[in-house]
Amino acid sequence: MKTKIIFIIALMLGGNMLSGQDLTRNEKRRLLSFEQFEEVFNRAGGDKAQILDARSAEEYEQNHVRGAVNVDTDESFHKTVTLLDKSRPVFVYSIGNGRSARLAKQLDSLGFVEVYEFPGGLSRWIGEGKPVVSTVGEGLTQNDFQQTVSSDEWVLVDLTSRYCPGCKKLDAALDNVKKEIGSKVKLVKIEAYENKKLVNELRVKGLPTLLLYQKGKLVWQKSGSSTEDELLAKLGEYLY
């Protein structure tokens, strides 16, 4: 009897371990490096593949990956899903990997065999110089940008987007930082999706991205979130 109980427990533990391993494989498969992702994406047909845009309709209208279908509402999601082939790869994206991660989990739960997120989202796709369908202009030229970052001794550029949740959180921290450091640094905000060429030239990997320039020369760069204390500490290393 004791042997039987031990055997059952071993089976249960083995099942849990396998589930954990499957989950890990799914996560690794979904979050590929950009180079790995591009290879899988192209093999699946590129812009002829099954591509879903998890952002709002307004964002989609301004810029989107060629061939992508916008699924910003439950109605559009369910309607689109019925037309997809579950046995073929599906590629999903948002600005970064927030909304697209939730969409990927939904597709997993519906039985889609291969679901991949664009590494770094649309911002990384544009930063890598990949094509998008756009209704907005290219924005600032490199010359315009260089004049801007050379206009003061210290210039902090915030490459941001009004649609990016992480960017909005950073806004509050930057406002407080600006109060602390006063006129020592000029703060410049640039809407990334209205300046796609610049985003590509600066090789932006995600939003928000901060770039600190001294007399027109880049001395520090960071992508992702930062707290007020982190920013004050980092800027203090250069300013004082």
**Rounded CA separation 123/63 (Å):** 10
* β-bridge pairing 68-70 and 209-214: unpaired
Q: Nearest CA to 92 among 183, 82, 165, 81?
A: 81
Block residue for tokens 């290219």: 138
Residue 221 contacts by C-beta under 8 Å, 6 or more apart in sequence? Answer: 209, 210, 211, 212
SS3 content of the chain, % helix, strand, coil (to 5): 50, 20, 30
pLDDT of amino acid 182? 87
How many other C-beta atoms are found inside a 10 Å radius of the C-beta of residue 152?
17
Residue 118 is classified by DSSP as: P
pLDDT of amino acid 30? 66
- Give me the sign of the Cα torsion angle 7, 9, 13, 18: positive
- Give me the sign of the Cα torsion angle 123, 129, 132, 136: positive
**Rounded CA separation 170/125 (Å):** 22
pLDDT along the chain (240 residues), means of 10: 40 37 48 93 98 97 97 96 97 94 96 96 95 93 96 97 94 94 94 95 94 98 95 95
Q: Nearest CA to 189 among 145, 158, 143?
A: 158
Question: Dihedrals φ, ψ of 153, to 5°?
Answer: -65, -45
**106 to 6, 82, 91, 114: CA distances (angstroms):** 36, 13, 13, 12
Residue-by-residue DSSP string for 220-231: EEEES---HHHH
**Rounded CA separation 31/209 (Å):** 20
pLDDT of amino acid 27? 54
Residue 82 is classified by DSSP as: T
Going along the chain from its start, the domains and CATH numbers come out as 27-134 (3.40.250.10), 142-229 (3.40.30.10)
Task: Enter the pTM of the model.
Answer: 0.83
